[in-house]
Structure 1
Amino acid sequence: MPPSLPPTLRQRRLGAELRKLRERAGLSSTAAAARFGFQQARMSMIEAGRHAVSADRVRAMARSYACADDKFTDALADMTGGRTRGWWDEYREYLPASFADLAELEHHAHGVRVALVIHIPGLLQTTDYARAVIQAAVPPMRAYEVEHRLSYRMKRQGVLHRDSPVRYAAVIHEAALRMGFGGTETVRGQLRHLIEMSELDHVAIRVIPFTVGAFAGAGQSSDYVFGPVAQLDTVQLDVAHGCQFIDAEAQLAKYRAILDGMEETALEPAESRAFIHNLSRTI
């Protein structure tokens, strides 16, 4: 029998939310399992995301745990079933597991907010710019590794171009616009691409110019991914070994406040588009 695949981020999140509901209800995993007529080991597997659970079972658990939030219960029920298979699965052999988790998270997102100071956001990068950024990684990657990461990054951008695209709001510091990844022509092409993307109804790009000076969140680089309800929002941070995902309520509130502050500091979308256009003519 082939080894079972580890649970995805989505499966782990469902299990974690069911565990939180159980704990708030003051039940041990053994007592909760007895209520539903199965062994404690199965309850542990469900809460770890390692055992599939049906939508009906999730609704029954929510009722048993006295969850009165119907929208939250519905959102949890929608997360049930087996693994969500998508294009990202073909990369599990070549890239860290967190990369597939990020692609799946974006696929199911109800909206995304990002803020970057040094790089252009991945979903807005051109192929040439993305290749230059990936090639600058430490330690250096082999040519085939660069191509795997490049094709993965380009496929992630599909969430902005599908029939029902994700609403996307990006705050980009002027430093990121001026970083010379790939040379002058690559940067010019990247700036033109940002202008084109900013004209889409579901994409909002705001620029923080150097003239603003210091601002709250200057050291932050984060993606805030909206779930179907606020309790299922997720923050994704880039770390040296891949991606880190945060979903604690206090941390979500912190990053919302940081992004709010950065958006208030930044130029409005129309002003930002003009800023990028003028910059592209001077580089």
Structure 2
Amino acid sequence: MPPSTTPTARRRRLGAELRKLRERAGITATEAARLLGGNQARISNIEAGRYGVSAERVRTLSCHYHCPDEALVNALAAMTGDRKRGWWEEYREILSAELLDLAELEHHGTALRTAHVSGLPGLLQTTDHAREVFRQVVPALTPPEIEHHLSFRIKRQAVIFREDPAPYRAVVHEAALHMRFGGPAVARQQLDHLLAMSERDHVTIRVVPFRAGGYPGTGQPVHYVHGSVPQLDTVQLDQAHGMALLDAEAHLHKYRQVLDRMESLALDAAESRDLVDAIARGL
């Protein structure tokens, strides 16, 4: 079977984690191939996500790599089972690969955390609010591009509406609640939507009030997707030059601290709802 030219984010992550285990064990790709009875090119393709690998081979490689973490090995083996392409693949030739990777990560995530200062989380945006956000993108999107981005964002929200939703914790700065994308009517509808979402058992929305003072980082949105084990977590950042997906241990540790710090500054859930409601009534 020829290698895949568009490996999924999940397959690439599996390959990257196997490479980390191999390198920590001090084993070369050639030596690993010999252990599997193959060649070095096959190991390279597996580690790049271009070739699929069975759960049995994942366990065999982990054993050769002397990995003592049974939970991690089990999690890696479980990543081999889902071979179906997700709904996001219909956007493959339309939107960036990073956006598709994000949707796939969220789909498989066990929990989601996010912190926003000047905007609202995409998973909590109404259709009208999101459309206005996309109209402000620089360089400007064409009307068809806006609608593609909009439909993709709304479909991503299925992760918090499905029958088995992942727990979702959002921290939003009070500044974001005063932004009036689309005018007062759209802003009021958006705030009412936040209130409704905050009533869901698996959704927690907390607000950092202006009076809290300073906050960590540069104010860029941080979106943290938990994997089945901490080593498989991923951080998504929105930056001026585009989206970045990070999974290095140092990055994961840093942004967990950022999110913890933002939560420590935030009002509790009930106080946050009261503030959102007060701002909505003032529109």
Partner of 1:279: 279
Can you give the 5+ residue segments of structure 1 that lack an aligned partner in the other structure?
A: none
Q: Once the 2 structures are TM-superposed, how far is the Cα of residue 2 of structure 1 from its aligned partner?
A: 10
Partner of 2:174: 174
Pairing of 1:1-283 with structure 2 (within 5 A): 4-80=4-80, 83-217=83-217, 219-240=219-240, 242-283=242-283
In structure 1, C-alpha distance between the alignment counterparts of 2:86 and 2:120, rounded to whole Å: 25
Q: Once the 2 structures are TM-superposed, how far is the Cα of residue 242 of structure 1 from its aligned partner?
A: 4.0
Inter-CA distance 241–220: structure 2 relative to 1 (3 Å threshold): closer
1:18-48 C-alpha deviation (Å, 9 max, x unpaired): 0111111111110111111000000100011
In structure 2, C-alpha distance between the alignment counterparts of 1:262 and 1:159, rounded to whole Å: 23
Q: Once the 2 structures are TM-superposed, how far is the Cα of residue 11 of structure 1 from its aligned partner?
A: 1.2
In structure 2, C-alpha distance between the alignment counterparts of 1:84 and 1:262, rounded to whole Å: 37
SS at match of 2:220: coil
In structure 1, C-alpha distance between the alignment counterparts of 2:146 and 2:2, rounded to whole Å: 30
Q: Which moved more, 1:192-201 or 1:214-223?
A: 214-223
Q: Once the 2 structures are TM-superposed, how far is the Cα of residue 8 of structure 1 from its aligned partner?
A: 2.0
TM-score (norm 2): 0.97
Inter-CA distance 69–242: structure 2 relative to 1 (3 Å threshold): same
In structure 2, C-alpha distance between the alignment counterparts of 1:272 and 1:42, rounded to whole Å: 53
SS at match of 1:243: strand
1:88-135 C-alpha deviation (Å, 9 max, x unpaired): 010111100111111000000000000001111000000000000001
Residue identity matched to 2:264: E
In structure 1, C-alpha distance between the alignment counterparts of 2:222 and 2:128, rounded to whole Å: 23
- 1:122–1:153 Cα contact (<8 Å) kept: yes
List structure 1 segments (4+ residues) > 4 angstroms apart after TM superposition: 1-4
**Paired residue total:** 283
- 2:3–2:51 Cα contact (<8 Å) kept: no
Residue identity matched to 1:126: T
Q: Once the 2 structures are TM-superposed, how far is the Cα of residue 267 of structure 1 from its aligned partner?
A: 0.3
TM-score (norm 1): 0.97
Residue identity matched to 1:247: D
- 1:99–1:242 Cα contact (<8 Å) kept: no
In structure 2, C-alpha distance between the alignment counterparts of 1:14 and 1:280, rounded to whole Å: 45
Can you give the 5+ residue segments of structure 2 that lack an aligned partner in the other structure?
A: none
In structure 1, C-alpha distance between the alignment counterparts of 2:175 and 2:44, rounded to whole Å: 47
Residue identity matched to 2:271: E
In structure 2, C-alpha distance between the alignment counterparts of 1:54 and 1:170, rounded to whole Å: 36
- 1:124–1:194 Cα contact (<8 Å) kept: yes
- CA-based RMSD of the aligned residues comes to 1.6
SS at match of 1:94: coil
Residue identity matched to 2:167: R
Identical columns (%): 58
